[in-house]
Amino acid sequence: MAVKRSRVTKLYSAGRIAYRSISDLTEREKKYVLSEILQVKGLMPLLMKPRNKQRWTPEERAELGVHLRRLSNISPYLIVLAMPGSFLMLPALAWWLDRRRNRPGVGAPG
């Protein structure tokens, strides 16, 4: 009986660790997406300039490029969030993106 209880305790402990890890990962990715979206705040007025018969200045074109690069960085999140039941996939997406970021040789200097 002590062996069975020990296995249950280990399983419970492993479950708590996994839940905490997924929760931390989800929270970190949520903060990242929110910070990126907040930095793209002035994109709509900038995009509407040609429609309002105004021209973009070179500075605005550079700003538009920065905004579009930011959006391309968070596009996997936006795709997942647009799908039905996607909130269940967010931890898996966060894990996959984190796994890619931590690969040796990717983005590492040298």
pLDDT tens sequence across 84-102: 776 677 777 777 777 766 6
Whether 54 has a pLDDT exceeding 70, the answer reads yes
The burial of 77, by beta-carbon neighbours within 10 Å (0-12 exposed, 13-18 middle, 19 or more buried), is given as buried
64-73: average pLDDT: 86
Whether 63 has a pLDDT exceeding 70, the answer reads yes
The residue assigned the tokens 């979206």 is 37
| C-beta atoms surrounding 29 within 10 Å | 19
**Per-residue confidence (pLDDT) for residue 110, from 0 to 100:** 39
- What's this model's pTM, rounded to 2 decimal places? 0.50
